[in-house]
A and B are shown apart, each in its own frame.
Chain A
Amino acid sequence: MAASTHAARAARDLRGAAFLVAPLALVAIATAAAGDPAWTQTVVNFFVALTAVVGIGIYVGNAGIVSFGHTCFMALGGYLSAILTVAPNFKAGNLPGLPAFLAVVELPLPLSLAFVVLGVGLVAGLTGMVIARLDGAAASIATLGLLVIVYNVLIGAREITRGSQAFYGIPITVGVWTAFAAAAVAIVLARVFRGSSIGLELRATREDEPAAGAVGVRAVPRRWSSWLLSAMVAAVAGALYAHFLGVITPKAFYFHLTFALLAMLIVGGMASVSGAVAGAVLVTVLIEALRRLEEGFAIGSLAVPPVFGLTVVGLGLAILLVMYRRPQGLLGFAEIEELVAPAASPHVAPGPLPRVEAAGALVAEGIGRSFGGLRAVDGVDLRLATGEIVGLIGPNGAGKSTLLGLISGVLRPDAGRVTLDGVDATDWPAWRMARRGLGRTFQNIRLFRNLSVHENVEVAARRSGLDAGPLLAQFGLDALAHRPAGTLAYGPQRRLEIARAVALAPRFLLLDEPAAGMNETESDALLDDLRRLRDETGIGLLVIDHDLRLIMRLCDRVVVLDRGQVIAEGPPAVVQKDPAVIEAYLGRAHRPTEPNSEG
């Protein structure tokens, strides 16, 4: 089954790539047939920029981190290929610092490109070890730093790069076919990567890193892979740039190019490959149209004089307009075929839920955690066996969510230990807890909002080997499968979050306020669903909620937490009558409000 779904996914991605590559092929054929040098130059320029933009999008789009640094990989690709391909007698006169083996080689372009991919891949692999650890603005600034460093190194290494002087004499070997081939390969790679498990998981981290961690996704290696692949594609684009102009300088690969390429990516929509293509097409078409207008034209007897600057100003206005109307870019998060022919969400027969085979337990022993002077959780013992439903209640600020964080690996306890089926899991991060059988939901729903309902579940399902479709049907979500998760109503969002956790085939499931915001009817339906879930799967459920009616009817056992400590534990009927519990709940009104650590 796994092999066939792999093949089906690859087929889907290749079909999507074909949607993009086919029109580009027509452009290439028309250009080659016309044979006009200026037009050819324009089209080659477009294909090179497209290759770069698609390459940059592999990282920026999937990781959701704007990179200012990818032009440095273009620069490295351009310079490396230039050094490998220019004639030895040029090197003797202009690049005196080259090591002997580089000074004598004179490679053809295809071989040189292979070395560019390997060489720049090495640089990207090393820099990625640092940059992949960062996210958001920190990562963006780090990429900017990388660009500045590489720029200055290229200028400083003038014995092998000619420094700030133009590096000329590069064989002009890139024509329309080479450039088209590079763009097509970049598009196929980008589509396959985007649809692959790595790409899907990376997009999940883009949407919500903690939630991705809760389904076993490690962000850092995913970001690293996309950084590496996107750098390699950018490097090829840089090499093509060098071989179609025949001259490069470090400043050609600096801020100006960076912002020109990012503008294409952002205008088109950086979250999809189609967006990258659309952006490159739109910007190129605008430039070509505007620059013909700016040279002056005549309408009948009215001669419009040339106004240079129109191209730049017009392009800026167009970008502003697109961003104003469509802040996520022209295509938003969708690929072109999803817009042209939206996938139907047919009803699927509900499939069997994953079944917990061997009994086991998730155990916390004396765990605690302080935040500054506040002992949020203090020496708590908690045991959740497979097949049982345990309720965790307590007034606001009692430490319930902190306890959940400690058990699930989001927070590290400063006392006590956690074991999962007898194995010490105290120091396990959230993703490892998830991979070893612990699913969870969040107090404030954390979905991958811009991924489809199906993809939300698939992130987890691919890891567990389950089939996402029938699972969605189990949760009544099959008809919504292709909707972006963020567009669902509240109830379905809650159901989806649980479905996603179940798709992990967990042995234990932690639900943080699943009934929050529900009315009595919805809460009753949830109760039935959860009980059925336990009965059919044998998963151990730990449910936090303020809805005491739900907790008391649902749970086999209830644990009451107050001020970080367990004050009562037992069957619902017993706990309900415990004086300490009554005091904790009723007494709350008489005590000053405590700081809320659940946030």
Chain B
Amino acid sequence: MKRRHVLGTLAAAAALSQAPLAQAQETIVIGFGGGLTGYLAYYDGLVLNGAQMAVDEINAAGGIAGKYMIDFQVKDVRSEAAAAAVAGNELVAAGAVALISPCDADPAIAFAQPAQAAQIPVIAPCASTPVLFAAVGDYTFQTYTADNLQAAVSAKYARERGYANAYILISPDTPYTEKLPLYFADAFQKMGGALVGQGTYAFGQQDFSAEVTNIKALDPQPDVIMTSAYEPDFPAFIKQLRAAGITTPVIGSDGIDSGTTLALGEIAEGVVFTTGGFPAPGSDLEAFYKAYVARYGGAIETDVAPFAAVAHEAVMTLAKAIEAAGSTEGAAIRDALAAMTDFKGVTGSTVALNTPNNVALRDVALVRVTGGAKEHLGNMQPAAADVPAP
């Protein structure tokens, strides 16, 4: 087995020890394509590290079911769809039995297409837009907390709090900032709520006075404002919202699961957001985060995110599927993945992949900003019927 790392984690990775080679009968290739350079480097770097940890654990334990050692082949797709297509083809040609895809939709689609054609399953552990099934086909699986899943949970939370009227703020600049609030509105209305208004912003917009004025003029007034804006837009928006005297509760999504939100102080007090997981004391996720920073360095608060855990889990899911299938044949692994109902990995959440679009049904963490810190309100898994169709 080779050691692999991105430039930034060279020192940490150099400290790794070689895994002992166990007495397995067979070596199988699991391919990884990620944007290790370019705009995806932050996300795909986390995914690579998490997946690598899982591979090392499996190999150290003698392989999948004591039978298959993993040859983990890594390709940098440089955050480009064209390079991702080449990497996907190369990994298929290298005989990969399964692939882990890049985070963003277009490189992921280009990467997964050759695998779909060759009937090799692909897991996307951090793409949150539920698009792969429709764009590529039934050999793709998305295991992160998808946008529509987060929206179902925030809608459920809002309805449980008794909010009847909602306002959403969207930006058409990315699918994440556009579709997630729309999914929320969809779920919220299905649960008996009403949408009373919708605002639009552009990335980097400094002035939200028009949106704030519109919110103020709404009749009936919204009980809750939902947006998937993140920095610098979210801080700008909420500052101007609160400055205008509007105290309506605000729900966000995992884009604001960062130190910036906490640094807003009093203004962000009470903001609730959904996210991929919360490392509550004593939780499985906390244990994984500790192992992660022990291996790659950094701090739990700043240098690791749920993507890494979901990536770890994705490799474990594959191992489980291969074990269940008793085969490394693509169709058999795919069927085993699609039959999975309650897999449990380092995130601590059960993961079901027997869903209409192969998008994982799993826990979403609800977090509230309280006294300048993150307060875990709990994890919630929506009913499959409550998740808006992609």
Contacts and interface: CB of A to CB of B under 8 A. Distances in A.
A164 B2 contact: no
A248 B82 CA distance: 10
A242 to B, nearest CB: 10
Interface in B68-126: 74-76, 78-82, 85-86, 89-90, 92-93, 105-106, 109-110, 113-114
A296 B14 CA distance: 13
B110 A247 contact: yes
Interface in A282-341: 291, 294-296, 303, 305-309, 311-312
Interface string A453-482: 000000000000000000000000000000
Contacts of B80: 252, 256
Contacts of B109: 166, 168, 246-247
A383 B32 CA distance: 81
A168 B131 contact: yes
Nearest to B84: A245
B370 to A, nearest CB: 34
A245 B110 contact: yes
A249 B108 CA distance: 12
B92 A37 contact: yes
A247 B81 contact: yes
A42 B3 CA distance: 26
A166 B86 contact: no
Contacts of A308: 4-7, 36-37, 74, 76
Question: Which of A42, A241, A294, A308 has the largest count of B CB atoms less than 10 A from its CB?
Answer: A308
Contacts of B3: 305-306
B135 A166 contact: yes
Contacts of B6: 308-309
Nearest to A167: B106
A309 B2 contact: no
Contact of B114 (A37, A241, A291): A37
Contacts of A48: 82
Interface string A266-288: 00000000000000000000000
Contacts of A168: 106, 109, 131, 134-136
Interface string A231-250: 00000000001001111110
B174 interface: yes
A169 B110 CA distance: 11
A246 B110 contact: yes
Interface in A169-215: 169, 172
B39 to A, nearest CB: 8
Interface residues of A, number: 39
Nearest to B105: A166
B106 A248 contact: yes
Contacts of B75: 291, 295
A309 B81 contact: no
Given A155-B173, A163-B178, A295 B129 contact: no
Contacts of B259: none
Contact of B4 (A40, A241, A246, A306): A306
A309 B172 contact: no
A252 B172 contact: no
A248 B92 CA distance: 22
A45 B82 contact: yes
B371 interface: no
B37 A309 contact: yes
A446 interface: no
A296 B89 contact: no
Contact of B76 (A36, A166, A256, A291): A291
Contacts of B113: 172, 246-247
B124 to A, nearest CB: 13
Interface string B215-257: 0000000000000000000000000000000000000000000
A36 B38 CA distance: 27
Given A166-B106, A168-B109, A308-B37, A247 B172 contact: no
Interface string A501-524: 000000000000000000000000
A165 interface: yes
Interface in A25-57: 36-38, 40-42, 45, 48
A158 interface: yes
A296 B114 contact: no
B10 interface: yes
A169 to B, nearest CB: 7
Given A38-B90, A306-B5, A311-B78, A164 B173 contact: yes
Contacts of B39: 256
Nearest to B179: A165
Contacts of B356: none
A42 B84 CA distance: 11
Contacts of A36: 93
Nearest to A94: B134
A168 B111 CA distance: 13
B81 A245 contact: yes
A96 to B, nearest CB: 14
Given A45-B82, A256-B79, A309-B36, 13 more contacts: A37-B89, A41-B86, A155-B173, A163-B175, A164-B172, A164-B175, A168-B106, A172-B113, A246-B113, A249-B105, A256-B38, A306-B4, A306-B5
Question: Lowest 10 CB-CB distances: which A-B pairs, in order?
Answer: A168-B135, A38-B89, A38-B90, A309-B7, A308-B36, A166-B105, A247-B109, A37-B89, A165-B175, A166-B106
14 contacts: A38-B86, A38-B92, A45-B82, A166-B105, A168-B135, A245-B110, A247-B109, A247-B113, A252-B106, A296-B2, A306-B4, A308-B4, A308-B5, A311-B76
